[in-house]
Amino acid sequence: SQTIHQWPATLVQPVGSPLSLECTVEGTSNPNLYWYRQAAGRGLQLLFYSVGIGQISSEVPQNLSASRPQDRQFILSSKKLLLSDSGFYLCAWSLGGLTGELFFGEGSRLTVL
């Protein structure tokens, strides 16, 4: 069966510090991978998605970046965090096609102080 893991689960970072969140998927090949952010009391905002190794699409301009160095690994990064980067970050995967469902990792709660 397929599993998805992301880490760290919780982190508190000062403004201006770097960020790296990692996500891995097991049990499937060539998944679509996604990074979402959910601000407190808000809906999910798609940040990045990837349909293959090295292929990254950004949905919103920001100081975050994403990379996919391996088929089942997705990384979210920042060189300098802003206060507004605080939120609940969710990695997700789906198979391609018209009816594929989305499956989420456990989430990473980031607080920028």
Partner 1 sequence: RKEVEQDPGPFNVPEGATVAFNCTYSNSASQSFFWYRQDCRKEPKLLMSVYSSGNEDGRFTAQLNRASQYISLLIRDSKLSDSATYLCVVRGPPNNAGNMLTFGGGTRLMVKP
Which residues here bind partner 1, judged by CB under 8 A?
32, 36, 42-44, 46, 49, 51, 57, 88, 90, 94, 96-107, 109
DSSP string, 86-102: -EEEEEEEE-SSSS---
DSSP run (H or E) holding 51: strand 44-52
In the complex with partner 1, which residue's Cβ is closer, 102 or 113?
102
Tell me how far, at minimum, the Cβ of 88 lies from partner 1, in Å. Answer: 8
- Pair 64, 76: CB distance under 8 Å: yes
Q: Which is nearer to partner 1, 91 or 112 (CB)?
A: 91
The residue among 14 and 101 lying less far from partner 1, judged by its C-beta, is 101
